[in-house]
Amino acid sequence: MLKSARKKEKDPEGRMPLAEHLRELRNRLAKGLLAITVVSIVAAFYSQDLMEFLADPVPRCEPGMKVTGGHCAKVTFNDLLSPFTTTVKVSLMVGIIVSSPVWLYQLWAFVAPGLHKHERKYTYWFVAAAVPLFFGGAWLAYTILPVSMRVLLGITPDGAENLLPMDTILDFTVRMVLIFGISFELPLLLVMLNMTGMVTGRRMATWWRGVVMGVFIFGAVATPTTDPVGMIALAGPIVVLYFMAVGISLLNDRRRRRNDPDAELDDDEASAIDLTPEAIGGIEPVASAKALPEQAGTGRADHRVNGFDDVT
């Protein structure tokens, strides 16, 4: 009873002193880090299989196969500590990815009390669309990795041997996955800007030439492979997603105009005003006031006393 009496009721708007905010942040960070640590330790026992999975896109040189030229490569470890550091990298990466539902929930639980109801609704929609988009980009990156690696290895001149360090393969694969996954979120960002009213679908549609050119330039610069296969594989889906974002934004603008015809007016643009009685609530026209009995006469003399109006 004493403990329950001492407990303070939570503010419905999520307000609390700064010290409690910091304490809550510390607790949620500790829970997220604990989840990452536990999953990373478990992943360390499967590090061999995980490294084999990440190195699978590399065309391996089988025993007896010609090693020189750009047909295949050997996966190597360059120094004594390389197997250990690579295992730590792989385990930590898997720990962050697999435990993401836990630490993302902790982050959301810390931020959500300060959001309004409509802001929370938009956040749910954003997360529901962002997760499959990111994993779709990551899957596409892993799918084209063998093709990109064969293109790059094909440049190797005859007489040379390809020895690829495992940590280099890991960094290359992670960069490709992250670049593709994050790039697939760009159209979603445009939709969110349209939902907040910062940009209209019609204006986004006028950007299509610049966007297509910019996306292909971005695909050429951002992909670590620097080959046309990776550029087209990254830029093509983003262009398709961009036009899908434009279509969704146009539909949202139409819905917004239907609910609020003046929603898209500029700040210095006045809306048309209908002053008919039906438009302003069915107010009946006001009848003219009747003259007072002492003002019923038509001559001005009837309204003057001693040369002055009778109202004075």
Q: In the chain, pLDDT over 90 holds for what percent of residues?
A: 3
Which tens digits make up the pLDDT trace of 190-243?
888 888 778 888 888 888 888 888 888 887 777 766 667 777 878 888 888 888
Beta bridge partners of 60: 73
Token pair for 151: 């293109």
DSSP string of 282-310?
A: SPPPPPPPPPPGGG--SSGGGGEETTEET
User: What is residue 1's predicted lDDT score, i.e. its pLDDT?
Assistant: 43
Residue 207 neighbours by CB under 8 Å, 6+ apart: none
**pLDDT number for residue 203:** 87
How many beta carbons lie within 10 A of that of residue 214, not counting itself?
Answer: 13
Q: CA-CA distance, 227 to 69, in Å (whole number)?
A: 18
Residue that the structure tokens 């393969």 belong to: 169
Could you tell me how far CA 192 lies from the centroid of its own chain? 7
- Whether residue 192 contacts residue 102, with contact meaning beta carbons closer than 8 Å, is answered with no
Calpha distance 55→193 (Å, rounded) = 39
At 41 the pLDDT is: 93
Instruction: Give pLDDT tens digits for 260-295.
Output: 665 555 555 555 555 555 555 555 555 555 555 555
Stretch 86-109: mean pLDDT: 84
pLDDT at 51 (0 to 100): 85
| Average pLDDT, integer, range 82-100 | 86
Contacts of 65 (CB under 8 A, 6+ apart): 71, 72
Contact present, 73 and 163 (Cβ < 8 Å): yes
Banded model confidence at residue 37, pLDDT cuts 50, 70, 90: very high
Over residues 14-28, mean pLDDT: 76
Residue 22 or 300, more confident: 22
Is the pLDDT assigned to residue 8 strictly greater than 60?
no
Query: pTM for this one?
Result: 0.65
Residue 60 has pLDDT above 60, yes or no: yes
Tell me, what's the pLDDT at 136? 87
The residue-averaged pLDDT of 72-76 equals: 79
pLDDT tens, position by position, 118-144:
667 777 777 788 888 888 888 888 888
Whether 222 contacts 179, CB under 8 Å: yes
Tell me: pLDDT of 158 over 80.
no
For the chain, report the end-to-end CA distance as a whole number of angstroms.
Answer: 79
Mean pLDDT of the chain: 75
Residue 182's Cβ-side half-sphere holds a number of Cα atoms within 13 Å equal to: 10
Q: Residue 7: what pLDDT?
A: 46
Per-residue confidence (pLDDT) for residue 38, from 0 to 100: 93
- What percent of the chain is predicted at pLDDT more than 70? 71
Residue 115 pLDDT:
66
CA distances from residue 145 to 109, 172, 250 in whole angstroms, order as listed:
37, 10, 36
Supply angle C-alpha 167, 173, 178, rounded to 5: 125
For the segment 4-15, the average pLDDT, to the nearest whole number, is 51
What pLDDT score does 171 carry?
A: 83
